[in-house]
Structure 1
Amino acid sequence: MTTARGYRFLAVLVLMLLPSLIAAQSTGLARLNDRDDLLGWEAVGRLDISGRGYCTGTLIAPTLVLTAAHCVFDAKSKQMHATDTLTFRAGLRDGVAIAERGVARIAVPRGYDPAMTQWLDRVRNDIALLELQDPIVSSDADPFVLHSGQGVGTTVSVTSYGQGRSQALSRQRRCNIVADADDLMAFDCDVTFGSSGAPVFAKVGSRGRIVSVISGGATLEGRKVAVGPSLATIVDRLKAQLRNAPRAQPDRIRRLSVGDRNQSTGAKFIRN
């Protein structure tokens, strides 16, 4: 069942997908092959789940990684992955990472439920914040800053790992926001399995700032789009969850309805 807010977003999306309304053209993916290509993008890394699945994540502080909430839940059991099954590999390229850290704690929005049947409502809360066991110094990987206020027609870029390109980052230098309503955004960016959690950048000044993360893909009116949540204040709430949780408690923050079993089958990419 789709809520009234969801219908409004879909209506906006249908309108904005009309070719005549999309002035900017998207570019293809480019693999970041060597250290020079990777320069400035080291804070984007691969989040590995027990070596059997992965997503994309991004440093937004020396000890904080932003990704999609569904990446930290088992797709079948709907249970949160144990933190000792998660490893963040900043700037991973052909088996070598700029820095590699384990995960100490996880915060997800209280409104996120991996079993939620209302797809758009799930996407709206599909954000997770991971606290690393040890910081990654900015001289190795400079964290990215969050940004808001970008709307339809804004040119963005996506840097991610994905199926068939899991060993190095790929960057799409130019794609576009094609819909923006009710804390949801849609993009004409090229994403696939493994791209979940990837940062969507708008260029602000000399460096990109994160406006959303990739939650999944959809097909509407025969056209493929990627979707993600507007970050707004949700990341600040997740930071507060981490600050207020006693360190002596179990090593992941969760809603009371989430259990502790770990039955990892790897990260999945949401489809509608």
Structure 2
Amino acid sequence: MRKAIGVALLVLAALSLPVRADRHPLLPMVTGDDARGWEAVGRLDIGGRGFCTGALIAPDLVLTAAHCLYDRDTGEEVDPAEIEFKAGMRGGRALAYRAVRRAVAPEAYAFVGGGSGAASPDDVALLELAQPIRSAGIRPFETAAGPSPGAQVGVVSYAHDRAEAPSLQETCDVIGQENGLLVMGCDVDYGSSGSPVFSFGEDGVRIVSVISAKAEMDGEPVAIGVALDRPLPDLRARIETPGGAFGGLSTGQVRVVGAGQRTDIGARFVRP
């Protein structure tokens, strides 16, 4: 059921800030035992200008946020050849290093920079690796439909203050969902864009969202995620089509919420 948020959300940037509510703390994964089962999450180094987080959903496909594929200052597309995926990176060393060959984002996604650009239900991208990662110790994750409000999820992410190893937050709440955007009480920070959001069920661990933005609700930081139900099937179809929509990201139009404008979920997104 759709849940109206009914409260102002102040989007601060295309990443996130820590949440101080009563929820599970971040667990640094600094050893092999800590990171066991999470090796398919990795850091995406982007042209020496910064990084995001991504996760394997196939031996040659990395799921992340679309805004990670744009230069924040110039708004220009980043050449996929300048992106490197470092699977399971800990202590500055990865289990596998792969260059990115191609990238695809939803045709409806348009990068506009700052916080407003992050408030898009199309802020998802697939990266095709130059060579697949085939290792018994790095198993791609399956994906599933987005969680309902009230559900509990987990997040594995890198961030600017923990850039050399990922951290796990085992439990955070889905506060609301509307128009393909999830509001979650998860602890994420700069560098966490594209981080996989996991559900834990009878079928095992599944990625149900990716981190897109940071926001503030009732004075508390929250994370904004994108539900995968709508954009991901189309991205998969396009990536399986020879020559389909690669060689550059789409710059199609998308309704962007500017300062003072409101969405139909009662949320107000403002540029930082």
TM-score past 0.5 threshold = yes
Pick aligned residue for 1:233 from 210, 230, 233: 230
What does 1:10-29 correspond to in 2, within 5 Å?
10-11=5-6, 25-29=22-26
> Is contact 2:214–2:224 with CA below 8 Å preserved after alignment?
yes
**Which amino acid in structure 2 is aligned with residue 50 of structure 1?**
G
- Residues 105 and 252 in structure 1, CA contact (< 8 A), matched pair in contact too: yes
* Alpha-carbon distance, 1:194 to partner: 0.3
Counterpart amino acid of residue 68 in structure 1: A
Indicate how the Cα distance of structure 1 residues 171 and 136 shifts in structure 2: closer, same or farther if over 3 A, else same.
Answer: same
Q: Percent identity?
A: 39
Equivalent pair of 1:99/1:140 in contact (CA under 8 Å): no
Report the CA distance shift for 1:104/1:224 in structure 2 as closer, same or farther (over 3 A). Answer: same
Counterpart for residue 162 of structure 1: 159
* CA shift for structure 1 position 150: 1.7
SS at match of 1:178: strand
Partners of 2:271 and 2:207 lie apart in 1 by 23
Contact 2:111 2:251 in 1 (8 A): no
CA drift of 1:211 comes to 1.0
TM-score (norm 1): 0.82
Contact 2:52/2:192 (8 A) holds in 1: yes
2:81 partner SS? helix
In the TM superposition, what is the alpha-carbon distance from 1:257 to its structure 2 partner? 6.3
Q: By how many angstroms is 1:33 displaced?
A: 1.3
Residue in 1 that maps onto 2:85: 88
Q: Taking CA–CA contacts closer than 8 Å with sequence separation of 6 or more, which of the two structures ends up with the larger relative contact order?
A: 2
Cα distance in structure 2, aligned partners of 1:117 and 1:58: 24
1:51 equivalent to 2:51? Answer: no
Matched, 1:194 2:191: yes
The answer to whether structure 1 residue 181 and structure 2 residue 198 are counterparts is no
Cα displacement (A) at 1:233? 2.9
User: Which one-letter code corresponds to 2:249 in the other structure?
Assistant: R
Residues of 2 paired with 1:167 and 1:159: CA distance?
13
Q: Which residue is equivalent to 2:111?
A: 114
- Preserved CA contact (<8 Å) 1:108 1:253: no
Is 1:219 paired with 2:212? no
* Higher helix proportion (structure 1 or 2): 1
- Preserved CA contact (<8 Å) 1:12 1:180: no
TM-score (norm 2): 0.82
Q: Distance in 2 between matches of 1:9 and 1:113?
A: 25
Unaligned runs of 5+ in 2: 10-20, 254-269
User: How many residue pairs were aligned?
Assistant: 243
Q: CA deviation at 1:207?
A: 3.1
C-alpha distance in structure 2 between counterparts of 1:256 and 1:225, whole Å: 28
On the 8 A contact 2:108/2:251 being kept in 1, the answer is no
Q: Deviations over 1:2-22 (max 9, x none)?
A: xxxxxx8542788xxxxxxxx
The answer on whether the counterparts of 1:25 and 1:174 sit within 8 Å (CA) in structure 2 is no
Structure 1: stretches of 5+ with no match in the other structure: 1-7, 15-23, 259-269
2:240 is matched with: 243
Q: Write the mapping of 1:24-173 to structure 2, written as runs, cut at 5 A.
A: 25-115=22-112, 119=116, 122-173=119-170
Aligned partner of residue 166 in structure 1, secondary structure: strand
Q: Which of 207, 212, 215 is the matching residue for 1:210?
A: 207
